[in-house]
Amino acid sequence: MASTSQRSTAEKSVIVERAVTRISDNASAVLDGPGEENATALLLYLVENGVSDEDDLVELALLANGKRYNPNDGTFS
């Protein structure tokens, strides 16, 4: 069972890494300053909660425009 969990975590990491790379290639300004950390945190949150389509992830991260997402109240700041 641990193997499946680790594989799942590894797959999630790959999805997030590819999405961040695509954002960096197409809209690097989103990742300036704290934007990269914020985008990565948002992507991880989305993947952990079932979003696995890379195009959707990239689009959502671009819409967030580098802002930090607060899952407790659904706001961006």
| pLDDT tens track for 24-33 | 888 888 788 8
**44-68 average pLDDT score:** 93
Quick one: pLDDT at residue 22?
92
Q: What is the dihedral of CA 72, 33, 63, 67, to 10 degrees?
A: 20
Write the Ramachandran bin of 30: left for phi over 0, alpha for psi from -120 to 50, otherwise beta. Answer: alpha
Cβ-proximal residues to 29 (8 Å cutoff; 6+ apart), any chain: 35
